[in-house]
Amino acid sequence: MKEQKEILNLNEYNNEIVKIGTNHHTCEPAQPNFNELYQSYSRNLYAYLRYSICSKDIADNIFQETWLALFELLQTKKEIANVHSLLITIASRKFIDVLRKQKNKNKIKSLEETSPKSLLKK
């Protein structure tokens, strides 16, 4: 009987090991346990977001969206080399999306203020 090896990923930031491994019944890669990942990485991720983003509400939304994105990714991806790096990348891209939306809203507001109708009202 072949010995099945587990792939271990050492989390550099809090020295915890995340087992990705193999499913012993099907010999296919096992999905990381989402709850374990959340317990291991949520505090660091939230601290990063609160440090980087002034608005608590925006940081909270991005925190939730990041975990949702990771959950969806775990449904399709067989192996994650560095979970912490992936979470920071997802969160950063979500924040960039928020900035883009705010920028577009500001452009729309400035266009509305300079539209011919708004000029006639003044």
Domains and CATH numbers, the chain: 33-121 (1.10.1740)
Stated pTM of the model: 0.63
The residue behind tokens 């969160």 is 91
Nearest to 37, CA basis, from 19, 21, 23, 24 = 19
Give the H/E segment covering residue 120.
Answer: helix 116-121
Strands (E), 1-122: 8-10, 17-19
Q: How many CA atoms, within 13 angstroms, populate the side-chain half-sphere of residue 110?
A: 6
Q: For position 28, what pLDDT does the model report?
A: 52
Q: For position 79, what pLDDT does the model report?
A: 79
Kindly give the confidence (pLDDT) of every residue in the chain, 122 residues in length, as a single tens digit, with 9 standing for 90 and above.
444 333 333 344 444 444 444 444 555 555 568 899 999 999 999 999 999 998 999 999 999 999 999 999 988 877 788 999 999 999 999 999 999 988 887 767 665 665 555 555 54
CA 45/CA 43 separation, integer angstroms: 5
What phi and psi, each to the nearest 5 degrees, are found at residue 86?
-60, -45
The full 3-state SS of 73-100, as one line of letters, equals HHHHCCCCCCHHHHHHHHHHHHHHHHHH
